[in-house]
Amino acid sequence: MKRFCLAIAIIFLGINLNAQELKTDISVHDPVIIQQDSNYYVFCTGRGIAMWSSTDRVHWKAEKPVFANAPQWAVDTIPGFKNHIWAPDISYYKGQYYLFYSVSAFGKNTSAIGLAINTTLHTDDPNYKWVDHGRIIQSIPGKTNWNAIDPNLITDKDGTPYLVFGSFWDGLKLIKLNKDRLSVAEDIRNIPTVATRRKKSSEKLAAVDGNPVDAGGNAIEAPFIFKHDKYFYLFASIDYCCKGPQSTYKMIIGRSKSLRGPYLDKTGSAMNKGGGTILLAGDKDWYGVGHNGVSTFDGTDYIIFHGYDAADKGISKLQLKKLSWADGWPVVVK
């Protein structure tokens, strides 16, 4: 009888221990989500790239970081780099998962975008192993007036891969990749700007918060392009993240029938000339919301982003909402 009771106790203890591993109110920055089989995986900013898994998109389990140790190329590229990796982007192509990620010095465009590839996201699979392919594109202060962070992979109608990226400086950039997605296929000295806060290229936006003068107040970042029906939709985040209760992050949107743009907002203003319709902004419950991705599960579109929780000292929390469409524009279902 004692053995039976002990066995039952162990079973219940095991259940409780497993339950303790799952969280419903997780703190993240810059999340993206993807599904493999019946599991969902979120990747976000964190030491070595933070990773979470779930079977219901509600209860989340913290997985080990993608990189236990900082990639050597990143250490060599970014002075003082300590394996805190930003804004990953996850996609699937020909049996492999492509994880683009950002390494940067805060407040500078001493930045680069790297790529790691895996054949599975299931961490208990014997084949689970991230293979790093190193630097894809790099920005250098004084040489490039753009910032190589916040990558998002998007394919054109013919399957050609592109990378949209950027933060502050000259705004959001779009560059074609080679078919294997391992390198850029265009001259980085002439990358088009697809979105900016500047209404004219000559407009000077005052630098704030100690930002470099060349970055100025061009507070736009975190691009994400999503194809729906006949349009490509460019999502971006404007104003300021990472300030807790003082965060003013918000999301804007524009659309184009061409991946290369121009992307126009609801008023017809081009995003590469300061346009952009507000999609979602902070309120009494969330100080700021932004850095979103969009994914489709079982025929339903979802938008994933982080928000600064007014009920919890402005801590950044995971938000996953349904995305509906009205008159050809996305609507966040609250």
- Could you say which of 30, 89, 239, 265 is catalytic? 30
**pTM for the complete prediction?**
0.92
The pLDDT, as a whole number, for residue 33 is 98
* Alpha-carbon span 218 to 310, nearest angstrom: 26
The pLDDT, as a whole number, for residue 212 is 72
Write the CA distances from 41 to 57, 58, 225, integer angstroms. 9, 12, 20
Among 36, 134, 132, which Cα is nearest to 92's? 36
The two structure tokens encoding residue 333 = 């279902």
Could you tell me the sign of the dihedral formed by the alpha carbons of 154, 263, 242, 70, in that order?
Answer: positive
Q: 44-82 b/e with 16+ CB inside 10 Å = b?
A: bbbebbbbbbbeeeeebbeeebbbeebbebbeebbeebe
Q: 262-272 b/e with 16+ CB inside 10 Å = b?
A: bbbbeeebbbb
> What would the pLDDT profile of 18-46 be if each residue is shown by its tens digit?
445 899 999 999 999 999 999 999 999 99
* Alpha-carbon span 228 to 329, nearest angstrom: 9
**pLDDT more than 90, % of the chain:** 86
* Alpha-carbon span 160 to 18, nearest angstrom: 43
CA 69 to mean position of chain CA atoms = 21
* pLDDT mean across residues, the chain: 92
Could you tell me the sign of the dihedral formed by the alpha carbons of 251, 188, 151, 98, in that order?
Answer: positive
Checking if the pLDDT of 157 tops 60, the result is: yes
The pLDDT, as a whole number, for residue 17 is 39
Does the annotation mark 298 as catalytic? no
326 burial via Cβ count (<10 Å: 0-12, 13-18, 19+) = exposed
Give the pLDDT band (50/70/90) at residue 210.
low
* Alpha-carbon span 267 to 296, nearest angstrom: 27
Give the pLDDT band (50/70/90) at residue 272.
very high
The pLDDT, as a whole number, for residue 203 is 82
Does the annotation mark 30 as catalytic? yes
**Given its phi and psi angles, is residue 223 left (phi above 0), alpha (psi -120 to 50 degrees) or beta?**
beta
Stronger pLDDT, 3 or 128, i.e. the higher one: 128
> What would the pLDDT profile of 286-327 be if each residue is shown by its tens digit?
999 999 999 999 999 999 999 999 999 999 999 999 999 999
Strands of 131-139's sheet in order across: 46-47, 84-93, 96-104, 111-118, 131-139
Looking at the DSSP assignment, which residues form a beta bridge with residue 118? 97
> What would the pLDDT profile of 46-96 be if each residue is shown by its tens digit?
999 999 999 999 999 999 999 999 999 999 999 999 999 999 999 999 999
The pLDDT, as a whole number, for residue 9 is 40
- Could you say which of 221, 239, 265, 309 is catalytic? 221
Q: How many CA atoms lie within 13 A of 69 on its CB side?
A: 3
N- to C-terminal Cα separation, the chain: 52
**pLDDT more than 70, % of the chain:** 93
